[in-house]
Amino acid sequence: MKDLSRLKGKYYIEDLVAQGEHESQDFKFMISDARKIARSISAFANHGGGRLLIGVKDNGVLAGVRNEEDIYVVEQAAERYCNPPQHVEFTAFNVGAGTTVIRAEIAKAVRRPVFANDTDRRWKAFYRVADENIVAHPLMIKAWQLAEAPDEASALFAMSHIESGLLDLLEQSQQPLSARDIALQLHIPARSADDIIAKMAAVGIVEFRYTGNGEFKITRAE
């Protein structure tokens, strides 16, 4: 199987499966759509990295890899349907009775954002939240891009009264705030609020928190 030597790993894989699916782990019984897998690769790479356990059903049953083509589909997803292309490290484990589970590890991206060419043929950046791959907020993407340009982002350290006011606003709020709420409460244009939020997120002063229904809001970084 793609020249992979199988390691003894029944108990190791069972321990991983016992954790369930979470922000750095996803189960895949079988793989047939490279674009859908590209979502997971993008989400893990834009978060803190993660792994796919191939040959594991959603309910945790170790069914085993049914077709070695699964590995090639993952490679295609990482190399062809991710921008920039990502590297995936594969390890095969013998989990008993001739059954093989593949661990496909995706590292945190060296440069974010990592986009995936989704099933609608559009390039989107995903982010891992719990056991879901969520489309990243545009301001998250802008913050990642600014973080790759440290000279531009670091200019924020000369904070004006507006940035200070934003921090005070977040400190006083009992809940994360949307960019629109921040613009309204600070009495500034929406575009100005977006620019400030992205810069402050780029240097780690504020962060984005997923609040459900595809929505991210802003809070002070912990």
Beta-carbon count within 10 A of 204 CB: 11
Q: What is the pLDDT of residues 62-82, one digit of tens each?
A: 999 988 889 999 999 999 999
When pLDDT is cut at 50, 70 and 90, the band that residue 128 belongs to is very high
* Per-residue pLDDT, 148: 84
How would residue 1 be classed by pLDDT, with cut points 50, 70 and 90? low
- The whole-model pTM stands at 0.92
Share of the chain above pLDDT 90, in %: 83
167: pLDDT strictly greater than 90: yes
b/e 30-51 (16+ beta carbons within 10 angstroms → b): ebeebbbbbbbbbbbbbbeebb
